[in-house]
Amino acid sequence: MYNTTQKALNTQFGEHIVFDSYIKTKNMAYFTQDYLDFFRELSANNNKDWFDINRKRYKTSVKEPFANFIAAMIDRVAAVNPKVALAPKDAIFRINRDIRFSKDKTPYKTGNSAIISPGGRKDMSTPGLYIELSHERIGIYGGVYMCETKQLYRIREEIAKDMSGFRKALNDKGFKKAYGELHGEKNKVIPKEFKAIGQEEPMIYNKQFYYWSDLDAMHLLSPKLDDMIMEHYHAAKPVRDFLLRAF
């Protein structure tokens, strides 16, 4: 859990949550309208000159509120999974885009994102909570996105050993309501020991196992944003727990 003595404080006093000089009451939103406006304007002016002019605004309306929000979300996830013990900076992705191999040379992302899992933003395999907040939407993701060969094999082993349990997790009412279904690219060829299983359970061909849900961006202004995201996190528990058997 993000320790209260560290630079970004995360301490509860009565009905307040304190992050450095930032105080959030239960009825106060983490974000203001300017968070949405900043990214809306950045989308139309995605260049360094515009960003430099608005850098102070970025810090006060975007960067700091997002760090405060992620600090709070880390604590809430850590209450469910004690293995999650990281600072916001280890969960949050940079706003700068990696344009080295991209035809799109716009320098900045038009939203903030973070991964809350034991390994933070450097861990895209362990099922956790990936959050994306922009002026267009709130994205809530989970599952296994980038899987190592050994991990993929173990996931397929778990599916083969317990196809009914896997299908039960996917058909869970809460999961289906929040996310609909599991997604991911597939391999055309899989190890021969899994081919027979593939006739009954086609998802054993998957090399990714992820799910997502989009919420309206205006929910960013709600003081219950963290509750909404945690509801989705809890809804993913049957699928997340099944996938975690392989880790």
Q: What's the CA gap between 196 and 49, in Å, rounded?
A: 58
Mean pLDDT of the 82-88 span = 95
The predicted pLDDT at position 96 comes to: 97
Q: What is the pLDDT of residues 86-106, one digit of tens each?
A: 999 999 999 999 988 888 899
Cβ–Cβ < 8 Å for 138, 226: no
pLDDT average, residue stretch 98-115: 94
- Assign 125 a pLDDT band (cuts: 50, 70, 90): confident
Structure tokens at 41: 């304007």
DSSP string, 160-185: HH-HHHHHHHHT-HHHHHHH-S-B--
How far apart CA 85 and CA 117 sit, in angstroms, is 8
Higher pLDDT, 124 or 23: 124
| Distance between CA atoms of residues 183 and 6, nearest Å | 38
Report the pLDDT value the prediction gives residue 25, as an integer from 0 to 100: 63
SS3 state of residue 59? helix
Query: Residue 211 pairs with which residues in a beta bridge?
Result: 142
The predicted model gives 44-70 an average pLDDT of: 98
Q: Which domains occur in the chain, in start order?
A: 11-244 (3.30.930)
Q: What is the pLDDT of residues 1-49, one digit of tens each?
A: 444 333 333 333 233 344 444 556 667 999 999 999 999 999 999 999 9
Q: How far apart are CA 153 and CA 187, in angstroms?
A: 12
**pLDDT score at 26:** 66
Q: What share of the chain is helix, strand, coil (3-state, %, to 5)?
A: 45, 20, 35
Taking only the tens place, the pLDDT of each residue in 141-198 is 999 999 899 999 999 999 999 999 999 999 999 999 999 999 999 999 999 999 999 9
DSSP state of 60: I
